[in-house]
Amino acid sequence: MFKKLIVCFLLNLTIILSPFYSLADDISTSDNETTYEYTSSAAYKDSSPPTINSRAAIVIDRNSNTVLYGKNEHNKVKMASTTKIMTSIVVIENCDLKETVTVSKKAGSTGGSRLGIKSGDKCSINDLLYGLMLCSGNDAAVALAEHVGGSVDGFAEMMNKKALELNLKNTHFVTPHGLDKDEHYTTAYELAILSNYALNNKTFAKIVGTKSTTITINNTPRNISNTNELLGNLNGVYGIKTGFTNGANRCLVTACKRNDLDIISVVLGADTKNFRTTDSIKLIEYAFNNFKNINLSQLAYSKFDKWKEDNLDSFTIYKSSSNNPPLDLNLNKDNYDIIIPIKNSELENISCNITCNKNLIPPLNSNSILGTLNLYSENTLIYSKDIVLSSDLYSKNVFEYFVEILKKLSS
């Protein structure tokens, strides 16, 4: 009889706890999964976009926000603990990280993946942020939200305000941790844009790039490790966040830089952690093996210089002492170098189209627009600049007319 009571107790305990564990972020890594490779493989070097398991995904170039790969990237989906990217940046931008937080009963009893804090514990905001982003503590998320926003609802308002500032029109937050709610969603594209913004903050970048660290709770040190399986294992990866709930499935946002190409990969809705990992690797290797950064400003100038060499003699300038107009491209000096990644197979197919008025009637002021230079990649406009006068173009004065008449009389 006693054994039966014990068995019943354990079964009931399992039923009670199962919702918490099913909502946890990477508590279990088994899932009957096979071992994945962290290194590049020949399969990822195909120029064709990879086939992946994840329901939604994207790869963007951090420098230009150019989309290098997309799959359902504008669909509204649940994002699990990748929510904490927004939680973290809102906290960092609104707090002194040295402040001490006293953990509430609500925060201490929050389920899912946990840092392991309890009601009454004291911890700095900085250490809670590490607990939030490394071991994905839902308890840390609520503690931070209550401290910064006054309540979970108040903090959600701050999150949504920030989303509007970043023009994330298809993103809405209800919680600071990402446990499933119908009105809590984003898109792969907007999550990538948010991640790019967050990574520009040095404090945020340092936290998500940390493999393991020691924090202090109630003056007692505790070692914590990052749930990001690619950090420290795949060449160039330097952040940022994992996620898992029953509704969102496996999620992973990854930042990776090799040489001059810096990308963000987002996979949402993978069936298993193994799929999440291999999908991310496929997308990262696809990007680095198939795209090259091109300085469009330099390319435009080289095309323009060749065009001027071939066309200046065909200009007609009425009543001017100048034989050749002083032409230039209208480039903003603060943003001269416009660099975007172009697929290797498209590099030789970049075309240039130049239209310019060749019949000029002075006087014309400097920066007068005469035409346009456009660069196209597979019929898609990728760069456009005005052709302008680089200096004033004057009409002939009386003396110049007199000299001209004398030359004609003497000939």
Non-local (6+) Cβ contacts of 140 within 8 A are 107, 115, 117, 128, 129, 131, 132
Which distant-in-sequence residues (6+ apart) come within 8 Å of 207 by Cβ?
88, 129, 130, 133, 134
Catalytic residues: 81, 84, 136
- For residue 9, count CB atoms less than 10 angstroms from its CB and return exposed for 0-12, middle for 13-18, buried for 19 or more: exposed
Whole-angstrom distance, CA of residue 264 vs CA of residue 191: 10
Q: Would you state the pLDDT for residue 322?
A: 56
Task: Report the alpha-carbon angle 220-136-201, nearest 5.
Answer: 95
> How large is the average pLDDT for residues 52-75?
97
Look up residue 399 and give its two tokens: 């003396």
Mean pLDDT of 190-209: 98
371-397 residue pLDDT tens:
999 999 988 899 999 999 888 887 755
> Which pTM was predicted?
0.85
Across the range 348-353, mean pLDDT stands at: 92
Q: Does position 292 have pLDDT exceeding 50, yes or no?
A: yes
Enumerate domains of the chain plus CATH numbers.
48-271 (3.40.710.10), 294-398 (2.60.410.10)
Over 50: is that where the pLDDT of 224 sits? yes
Residue 21: predicted pLDDT:
40
Peptide bond into 221 cis (omega under 30): no
Tell me the average pLDDT across 84-98.
97
pLDDT class of 407 with cuts at 50, 70, 90: low
Check pLDDT > 60 for residue 273. yes
- Residue 71, pLDDT > 80, answer yes
Mean of the per-residue pLDDT values of the chain: 87
How much is the average pLDDT of 153-182?
A: 98
| pLDDT tens-digit series, residues 138-149 | 999 999 999 999
Q: What value does the mean pLDDT take over residues 59-83?
A: 97
